[in-house]
Amino acid sequence: MSLPTPRILHLHSSFDPGGKEVRNVRLINAWGKDAEHAIVSGDLEKRGAARLLSGKARVKWPRFPSLEGKPTPGRLKRLAAAMAGYDLICTYNWGAMDAVMAHTLFADVFNLPPLVHHEDGFNEDEAVRLKKRRNWYRRIALGRTAALVVPSRKLENIALDVWQQPRSRVQRIANGIDTRRFSAPPKRDVLPGLIKRKDEFWIGTLAGLREVKNLGVLVRAMARMPDDWQLVILGEGPERAALEQLAIDKGVEDRVHLPGFLDQPEKVIGLFDIFALSSHSEQFPISVVEAMAAGLPVVAPRVGDIGEMVASDNGPWLTEPGDEAALAEALWQLAGKPEDRKRIGKANRDKARAQYDALAMTERYRALYWGLMDRNRPS
């Protein structure tokens, strides 16, 4: 007798395209009709990642109590009641931590299913230092989770040492992508209103236009770069106007381009000659894996797991976090070394294909989720 199709509830503070949202979509797409998914975005205006969902995915958008507010017993009880009736609950980052607390307090009352919490990194308010009160709250809230999934060694250490989670609960699953999709050479006119000319070079990045991404560093660095180099920042967010004004102030507005968010980065990232990342805080950024799969050298601060992610040949081009001058110097130096760019890019591509392909990631998540739902029995 076959089991009914499992129902999985996903709780996000927002569902605009970002690392965790894109990974969530890719997993949902990979599983097709094997599961039904209910996705909650705490901010109803931020559901842009929904357009990445496959037509074969079985997805609903249920009404759900607000994920924001004071963690009063009454509010937490309402959150818990709304989680009943599913086979698995997946929560994501600090924005869903009240739901995690609600599950810990009221799981028995409402006969709730297992909960898997996912931590992918921190926003501006915890980019430099974690908040003590939040750490205390996390320790309590995570007390009855079935698993805590993190993509990076740094987050794994935080989960074990700072949040004091047991080793048996913490699982590190590296982010993966379909690396082969980044092999095809992109068209030079793939971006609307922007064509890459044969006599120019591009520094590129994929990032939400948010303060924590520190993209102003890249704009300021362009003032020193040779005239045949352009900066292309793919993404959307509240910092757009500030970045555009900064480019004007630095006199590089003709060489700084913000085409917006692109659904399929594999169609454009191969146009870049250098991939640059400037964030104050990262853990295991998918954009770096995508750049590696496209055969690009990476210039970035040594934050999160980036030092372990890139090939050893790329190591000298990583800089100390917060050292803006060093990042600009690395970009300028690498711009003048085409042979090094080619060699490093090949090493990165080889490592991405060997270690960061999506298949292994998808299989590990499926084994975890289906195991917790007791669905890993042979058919």
Strand partners, 59: 37
H-assigned helices in the chain:
19-31, 73-82, 97-110, 132-141, 153-157, 216-221, 240-249, 286-293, 306-309, 324-335, 338-355, 358-372
Residue 128 DSSP one-character state: S
- Where does 7-176+358-372 sit in CATH, by number? 3.40.50.2000
Residue 156 pLDDT exceeds 90: yes
Task: State the Rg of the chain over Cα.
Answer: 21
pLDDT tens, position by position, 328-342: 999 999 999 999 999
Give 133's pLDDT tier (boundaries 50, 70, 90): very high
Mean pLDDT over 72-76 rounds to 97
Residues whose CB is less than 8 angstroms from the CB of residue 199 and which lie 6 or more positions away in sequence, other chains included: 228
Mean pLDDT over 304-323 rounds to 94
pLDDT tens, position by position, 198-211: 999 999 999 989 99
Architecture of domain 179-355: 3-Layer(aba) Sandwich (3.40)
Mean pLDDT over 292-302 rounds to 97
Would you say 87 and 116 are in contact if contact means Cβ atoms under 8 Å apart? no
| CATH topology match: 7-176+358-372 vs 179-355 | yes
pLDDT tens, position by position, 108-127: 999 999 999 999 987 766 65
Kindly state the percentage of the chain with pLDDT values over 90.
79
Question: Given this model, what pLDDT does residue 376 score?
Answer: 58
Residue 379 pLDDT exceeds 50: no
pLDDT tens, position by position, 254-282: 999 999 888 788 999 999 999 999 998 88
User: Max Cα separation, the chain?
Assistant: 69
Question: Given this model, what pLDDT does residue 124 score?
Answer: 67
Mean pLDDT, all residues of the chain = 93
Would you say 293 and 331 are in contact if contact means Cβ atoms under 8 Å apart? no
Q: What is the pTM for the complete model shown?
A: 0.75
Domain boundaries, the chain: 7-176+358-372, 179-355
Give 246's pLDDT tier (boundaries 50, 70, 90): very high
Mean pLDDT over 213-238 rounds to 95
Question: Given this model, what pLDDT does residue 184 score?
Answer: 86
